[in-house]
Every structure is written in structure tokens, then in C-alpha cells.
Amino acid sequence: MNETLQCVGCGAEIQTEDKNGLGYAPASSLEKETIICQRCFRLKNYNEIQPVSLTDDDFLRILNGLGQQDGLIVKIVDIFDFNGSWLPGLHRFVGKNPVLLVANKVDLLPKSVKHNKVINWLRREAKALGLNAVDVKLVSAHKGIGMADVIEAIEEYRNDRDVYVVGCTNVGKSTFINRIIKQATGEGEVITTSHFPGTTLDMIGIPLDDGAALFDTPGIINHHQMAHYLDASELKYIMPKKEIKPKVYQQNAGQTLFIGALARFDFIQGERSAFTVHIANDLPIHRTKLEKADELYANHRGDLLAPPTAAHIDKLPEFVRHEFSIKDAKTDVVFSGLGWITVQHANVVIAAYAPKGVEVFVRPSLI
Ligand code: GDP
């Protein structure tokens, strides 16, 4: 029997292999007369959105579909991994639809950081990346910070139209939508569907009180993140859970910092300077002389320099070296998905190393 089965909730093709993929249902449920995927099942019965990821092609098709809708796009990024979670092409796909930019996980930034300053930074960076957002909001979906404000903004900008929430995996999109479900809907049937032109995919949505709906679009996997090279047990070290405590290093040229075995930062040239490291609090930082750094890494990756530990170090791709001549004070050197090091002084030359495939770049300091 080759007939494809479809979820009665969202229309996705039912499959029983990939738990995180679209249309997943446990094999036992195929016996039933009407089949509903696990994601719709959870939404219907527990009013809870579950994360789901897509291939790049499917995601592009969905993005294309967005341009043909009339609604408000809510784009979620992770403030801790802003560039890595950005979704570069989005603004070209959304057509005339307004985009509300929401930066999640603000609880990870040090409490001393002024939110207005971060919002201004986000506006500037978004613009530089080609997006003219109608507004920018900072939230912590997890802690509930800023949620009332963002819900109000959604109401204002959607103008009775549908809402489409987009973001790459792990930005906290499900946590965000689950908050909205809790605040915006009561009991009762939660699922609505909307067909996306050019895809076989129907979106599942949460009804809003005027007949419009808020749609959860599947998250795209971001291939540039460190996360892909780590074991699940080690991932918990690199993803910060709590407010980051920045660590300041006063360095002379000729000194090197290692972040586990995951990144290396050489101070090559310049006056004595301060470098502020913004990474998960539990990640070990090791300081050494630049002239000893190669040898240390060769002999101690996986033990003294960990994570990854010896059991997983072979999975880590080789380091690629990126040299930067930094002209302006307060410049972040970003290791995609891991964090960043703020160079506090002007006119220094540094080299940043990260596993092949992980992006490294500089930007004006976020905080
Ligand atoms: P999705 O893949 O975008 O749907 O993301 P999830 O909602 O599944 O969240 C991904 C991870 O980020 C989980 O470990 C969440 O606990 C975490 N997370 C979500 N929102 C926040 C937040 O506001 N602050 C922090 N620190 N973590 C969050």
C-alpha cells in the first residue's frame, strides 16, 4: 500500500521515522481511522506547540508562501546568537507584509544592560542586514519578560489580519507561542489551518478572537552553529541557561585564550587591552602564551581543554583561523552559537579560531 496518509490537523504527510520532523506520528496511531500528527495532537489536547524542523528547501517554499499571504510576520531571533539565528533571506520573501522583530532570551544578558540600548542596536543591525522592521521588541519567552508588551504590539500591527511566527530552531519560538496560547486563548479547539501556496503543507494555527489566526511556521535548522558538532550532553555547557556573567581579561599582546577546545583567541598586536568574554558561565576559559598555544592545543584538546571531552573530540572539525585588524574600540568578535569576546580598545590585531563550518565575524559591541 503506497497511499500517503495526511494529518487531519495540519495536512502534513504522516511519517513514523523522524520524531522532530513534520507529520511525525507513532506507528501505533496508524491503525486509527483519523490520523493526527503528534504535533497537532499535543496542540489539540494540551494547548501546546511542539518544535518541528524542516529541510532548507521546504523552508524556502514556506517563505515564498509568506509573501502571498496578507498578515503580520513576527520574526524571532535569539539575542545570544543574533547573527546565527537571523534567517538572512527573510525580508526578500515577505512581500509587503510588515515584520515585527522579536529578540528572545533577554534574560541571558547581564541585568546591568539597558534594554533601550539593545533595542537601538537591534534596529541598526537589522537595517544593515536589509530588514526594515515595523518595531523591535526584547523578550524572555521563558521568564515571561516583555510578553504583554509584544502581545500588544502584535495586536496593533496585525490590524485584524493573520500572524505568522518565523524563526530558526532553538530561538525559543515554541516557548514564545506557548506563552501566547496561555495568555490569549482559553479552553477549546485550538487548531486552525492555512494552506501555503506551492507547498503540500498546511500550517497549524492558534485562533485569535476576531477570526484571524496566529500560525506557527516550522523552524529552519541553522547549519553554522557550534551545536552540530557537539554531543547532547556537552551542548548543555555551551547553551547558557542563566544570566551571563561577563569575564574580563587584561591581556598583553602575545597572549591566548582558549574556550574549552571549541575556540581560541590570540591577541597578536596592540597596547595592553581589556577583553570581555560573553559565554555560558560554566564553560572553562584557559589562558596561555601565544607561543605555547599550538602545542597546548595539540596535546590537551579533550582533557585540559574541554568540552568536547576525549570521548567526542574526534567529531570536532579542525580549527580555521580568522585574523582581524580591529580599528574601533568596543568591537565584538563573535563565535556563532558560542558567544562573543568584546575587544574594549581600538587598534588591535587578533586571530579567532573556530571549528570549520562555524562562522566567526566582528560587529559593533552589543553591550
Ligand atoms: P524552538 O526550536 O524555536 O521552538 O525553541 P524552543 O521553544 O523549543 O526553545 C529552545 C531552547 O531555548 C529551550 O532549551 C528553551 O528552554 C530555551 N528558551 C526558550 N525561550 C527562552 C528564554 O526566553 N530564555 C532562555 N534563557 N532560554 C529560552
Tell me the per-residue pLDDT of 137-158, one tens digit each, with 9 for 90 and over: 999 999 999 999 999 999 999 9
Report the share of the chain in percent with pLDDT over 90.
Answer: 55
Render pLDDT for 227-282 as a digit per residue (tens, 0 to 9).
667 777 777 788 898 999 999 999 999 999 999 999 999 999 999 999 999 999 99
- Which 3 state secondary structure label does DSSP give 202? strand
Render pLDDT for 64-78 as a digit per residue (tens, 0 to 9).
788 888 999 999 999
Query: Separation of 76 CA from ligand 1 center, angstroms?
Result: 11
- Which 3 state secondary structure label does DSSP give 314? helix
- The pLDDT score that the predictor gives to residue 221 is 67
- Which 3 state secondary structure label does DSSP give 313? helix
Render pLDDT for 272-310 as a digit per residue (tens, 0 to 9).
999 999 999 999 999 999 999 999 999 999 999 999 999
Q: Indicate whether 130 pLDDT > 60.
A: yes
Q: Is 53 in the pocket of ligand 1 (CB under 6 A)?
A: no
State the cell numbers at 285: 576559559
Over residues 89-108, mean pLDDT: 91
Q: How far apart are CA 247 and CA 141, in angstroms?
A: 26
Domains and CATH numbers, the chain: 47-220 (3.40.50.300), 228-364 (no CATH)
Which pLDDT band holds residue 1 (cuts at 50, 70, 90)?
very low
Q: Is 73 in the pocket of ligand 1 (CB under 6 A)?
A: no
Say which amino acid occupies 172. Answer: G
State the cell numbers at 168: 530558526
The answer to whether the CB of 230 falls within 8 A of the CB of 204 is no
Q: Indicate whether 204 pLDDT > 50.
A: yes
What is the interface pTM, i.e. ipTM, of the complex? Answer: 0.99
Q: How far apart are CA 353 and CA 360, in angstroms?
A: 8
Mean pLDDT of the chain: 88
The residue to mutate among 170, 238, 279, having the most atoms of ligand 1 within 8 angstroms of its beta carbon, is 170
Render pLDDT for 159-171 as a digit per residue (tens, 0 to 9).
999 999 998 888 9
- The pLDDT score that the predictor gives to residue 308 is 92
Q: How far apart are CA 286 and CA 332, in angstroms?
A: 19
Q: Indicate whether 38 pLDDT > 70.
A: yes
State the cell numbers at 199: 507547498
Q: Is 51 in the pocket of ligand 1 (CB under 6 A)?
A: yes
How large is the greatest C-alpha to C-alpha distance in the chain, in angstroms? 73
Return the closest-CA partner of residue 361 out of 323, 328, 327, 310.
Answer: 323
Nearest atom, ligand 1, residue 51 CA: 4
Q: Is 140 in the pocket of ligand 1 (CB under 6 A)?
A: yes
Nearest atom, ligand 1, residue 171 CA: 3
Which pLDDT band holds residue 181 (cuts at 50, 70, 90)?
confident
- The pLDDT score that the predictor gives to residue 16 is 93
For the chain, the distance separating the N- and C-terminal CA atoms, rounded to the nearest angstrom, is 58
The residue to mutate among 142, 180, 282, having the most atoms of ligand 1 within 8 angstroms of its beta carbon, is 142
Q: Is 178 in the pocket of ligand 1 (CB under 6 A)?
A: no
Query: Separation of 142 CA from ligand 1 center, angstroms?
Result: 7
Over residues 345-363, mean pLDDT: 94
- Our CA angle for 130, 68, 155, nearest 5°, is 75
Beta strands in 280-328 (DSSP E): 285-289, 319-326
Q: What pTM was estimated for this model as a whole?
A: 0.86
Return the closest-CA partner of residue 143 out of 51, 215, 243.
Answer: 243
